[in-house]
Amino acid sequence: MLVATAVGAIVIAGAYSSFILVANQHDKIKDVADMQGSGRGAMRIMERDIRMAGFTWRDNQAKVIYGSIATPVTVTDSGNSCCDSISVVYDYHDESDNSTERVSIRYWVESYTGSKGTRGRLYRKRDIVLPTPKAGTKDVVADYVEDLQFPGRENTQYLYVARSQDDYITVIDPDTPSCLSKEVCGERIGVIG
């Protein structure tokens, strides 16, 4: 009887420790999934603004209201250290009141000291450039950002490819025909969460 009790206690202790390990692993996986989800949201916000860079609104007579945009995208390169910043300029048209503004939007990472220590935060600031200049507010887009880099901008002739079945972004040089037919070709520059 004493032997059976000892064996039972060992089995119960093993089952309990296995449960604790699985529960801890589940919590870590859930936290990583939450981080990736919030990261995707921040990337979508930035992606929309970057895609809009250089857009000029035209009136009913197809005339550009505020003229062309000389520098639609400006990247401040930090090299291999933290962190790059990017500014985009485009015209924003509000259908509800039929108004158009030329906006300049800047994204950058800045250190923030909070109750849990110092960490990087991704900020977004939207300034109105035309018709009446107005400085915007600094808004937090994402927290706990380690680095913000915009690689592969040196030559805009490259293609940036992200296929739905892959989990990365690849830079492809279209001047190399054999490169386009390979499964994986070019430099992987980012992971899609």
State how far the Cα of 161 lies from the Cα of 170, in Å rounded to an integer. 5
Q: What is the pLDDT of residue 81?
A: 80
47 within 8 A of 141, measured Cβ to Cβ: no
State how far the Cα of 168 lies from the Cα of 188, in Å rounded to an integer. 7
Q: What is the pLDDT of residue 115?
A: 87
Q: What is the pLDDT of residue 7?
A: 85
Q: What is the pLDDT of residue 180?
A: 46
Q: What is the pLDDT of residue 185?
A: 52
Q: What is the pLDDT of residue 18?
A: 86
Residue 164 is given by DSSP the state T
N-term to C-term CA, the chain: 55
Provide CB contacts within 8 A for 169, sequence distance 6+.
160, 161, 162, 188, 189, 190, 191, 192
Query: What is the pLDDT tens value at each position of the chain, 193 positions in all?
Result: 888 888 888 889 888 888 888 888 877 787 667 666 677 888 889 989 989 999 999 988 889 999 999 888 888 888 778 888 999 999 999 999 999 999 999 999 999 998 888 988 999 999 999 999 999 999 999 888 888 888 765 544 444 555 445 555 555 555 555 544 445 455 544 444 4
Q: What is the pLDDT of residue 193?
A: 44
